[in-house]
């Protein structure tokens, strides 16, 4: 009888030795799993909050930011303020903006409508190289430093240019404003964009050079220049 009791006690001790670490490990795993769940939840919450904060910044325009993004449109409104007349037409608008309407067209000049952001510096260089390879000259609005009234300078260059290239990537409001003026003046315009996602609905059916590399951009631009210049000679 005593032998059986001793054997039972021994088995219980062995079982306790084996089971206790297993229970401890199981509890640790459960706790770690709970921590991971908490971490994932916090991470997800932070991700959502970051997105909300980003959207809030985009939707909450300060007056300073609005003026910076839409400065050309605001400049034109200020220039025209107090000088509204019954007359209308491109020449009236240009005169109100202080632009010489008798300016001669430079047949070797291509003007580029593009955001002034550094992100577009490389694409502008690619455009300029392609234009120059055709024996033409090229510039954009900020190639000449202007301390004030940059819109007047841009309008003057649009009037002087034979051809216009408009980079509508990022849907920059100033580029669209300049584009509308160029088209109202009857300038031949090539629209370019990095991808089709940058095309708004109302111009998605227009001819747009969508490029995926600067090589694509330069090849397409040279082709357009050749075809357009040939048509203008006919």
Rg of the chain, C-alpha, whole Å: 33
42 pLDDT higher than 70? no
Angle CA 21–22–25, to nearest 5: 85
Q: Please indicate, yes or no, if residue 173 is contained in any of the structural domains.
A: yes
Average pLDDT (88-101) is 76
Q: Please indicate, yes or no, if residue 7 is contained in any of the structural domains.
A: no
Q: Please indicate, yes or no, if residue 110 is contained in any of the structural domains.
A: yes
Distances (CA, A) of 196 to 110, 138, 231: 24, 25, 27
Q: Please indicate, yes or no, if residue 115 is contained in any of the structural domains.
A: yes
Q: Are 113 and 178 in contact (CB under 8 A)?
A: yes
Specify the CATH number for the domain of residue 154: 3.40.50.450
First to last CA, the chain: 121
pLDDT at 148: 66
- Residue length of the chain: 234
Residue predicted with more confidence, 73 or 228? 228
pLDDT at 81: 47
Q: SS3 for 190?
A: strand
Model confidence pLDDT, tens digit, residues 195-223: 877 666 555 556 789 999 999 999 999 99
Report yes or no on whether pTM surpasses 0.75.
no
CA 125 to chain centre: 17
Instruction: Give the domain extent around 224.
Output: 90-233
Model confidence pLDDT, tens digit, residues 150-197: 888 899 999 999 999 999 988 888 888 899 999 989 999 999 998 877
Q: Please indicate, yes or no, if residue 121 is contained in any of the structural domains.
A: yes
Give the number of other Cβ atoms within 10 Å of residue 141's Cβ.
23
Q: Please indicate, yes or no, if residue 22 is contained in any of the structural domains.
A: no
Structural domain total, the chain:
1
Q: Please indicate, yes or no, if residue 184 is contained in any of the structural domains.
A: yes
Q: Please indicate, yes or no, if residue 126 is contained in any of the structural domains.
A: yes
């Amino acid at each position: 009888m005593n032998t059986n009791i001793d054997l039972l006690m021994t088995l219980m001790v062995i079982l306790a030795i084996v089971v206790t670490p297993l229970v401890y490990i199981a509890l640790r795993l459960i706790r770690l799993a709970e921590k991971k769940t908490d971490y994932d939840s916090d991470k997800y919450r932070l991700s959502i909050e970051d997105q909300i904060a980003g959207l809030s910044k985009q939707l909450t325009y300060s007056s300073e930011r609005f003026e910076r993004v839409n400065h050309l449109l605001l400049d034109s409104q200020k220039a025209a303020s107090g000088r509204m007349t019954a007359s209308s037409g491109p020449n009236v608008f240009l005169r109100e903006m202080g632009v010489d309407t008798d300016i001669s067209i430079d047949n070797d000049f291509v003007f580029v409508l593009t955001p002034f952001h550094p992100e577009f510096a490389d694409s502008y260089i690619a455009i300029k190289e392609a234009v120059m390879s055709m024996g033409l000259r090229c510039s954009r609005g900020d190639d000449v430093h202007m301390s004030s009234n940059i819109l007047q300078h841009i309008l003057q260059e649009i009037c002087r240019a034979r051809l216009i290239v408009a980079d509508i990537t990022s849907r920059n409001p100033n580029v669209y404003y300049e584009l509308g003026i160029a088209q109202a003046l009857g300038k031949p315009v090539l629209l370019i964009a990095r991808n089709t996602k940058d095309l708004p609905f109302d111009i998605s059916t227009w001819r747009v050079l969508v490029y995926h590399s600067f090589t694509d951009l330069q090849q397409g631009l040279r082709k357009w220049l050749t075809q357009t210049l040939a048509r203008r000679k006919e």
